[in-house]
């Protein structure tokens, strides 16, 4: 039987110049970046929300409505994977019900 096959003959050389040390450094740098990002997000959560809704709106993936009760402007994501309600997060008014009544 042919037992002369040796490993390493037809291997694909991927990023051979990237040593384990360099790879480790990249991961550490990435972790630092993530930590900074998370820190920035948690301190500016409202800003992040505004940003996300602005992006969704830009892509026509969000609709805007104004609560009749508290006149708060509500952004509602229009995504198939997310179930949303018409209840105002600010005062709890059901917008879908109030629009039918009166
Ligand atoms: Zn409201």
- Per-residue model confidence as pLDDT tens digits over 90-100: 899 887 754 44
Per-residue pLDDT tens over the stretch 51-73: 887 888 888 888 888 888 999 88
Residue 1 lies in a domain: no
Which residue blocks in 1-102 are alpha helix, DSSP H? Answer: 20-43, 45-58, 95-100
For residue 81, tell me if it sits in a domain: yes
* Euclidean distance between CA atoms 47 and 53, whole angstroms: 10
- How close is the Cα of 53 to the center of ligand 1, in Å? 18
Task: Supply the range of the domain harboring residue 88.
Answer: 65-102
Cα dist. 35→40, 47, 52 in Å? 9, 18, 20
pTM of the model: 0.40
What length is written for the chain? 102
Q: How many domains does the chain have?
A: 2
Task: Say yes or no: 102 and 73 in one domain.
Answer: yes
Asked if the structure places residue 12 within a domain, the reply is no
Q: Would residue 44 count as lying in a domain?
A: yes
Whether residues 46 and 73 fall in one domain = no
Residue 69 DSSP label: T
Q: What is the reported pLDDT for 101?
A: 44
**What is the Å distance from ligand 1's center to 7 Cα?**
68
Per-residue model confidence (pLDDT) at position 70? 93
What is the structure's pLDDT at 57? 84
């Amino acid at each position: 039987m042919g037992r002369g096959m040796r490993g390493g003959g037809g291997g694909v050389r991927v990023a051979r110049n990237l040593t384990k040390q360099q790879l480790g450094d990249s991961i550490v740098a990435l972790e630092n970046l993530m930590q900074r990002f998370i820190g920035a997000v948690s301190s500016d959560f409202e800003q992040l929300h505004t940003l996300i809704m602005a992006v969704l709106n830009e892509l026509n993936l969000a609709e805007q409505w104004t609560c009749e009760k508290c006149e708060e402007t509500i952004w509602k994501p229009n995504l198939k994977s997310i179930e949303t309600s018409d209840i105002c997060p600010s005062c709890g008014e059901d917008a879908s019900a109030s629009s039918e009544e009166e």
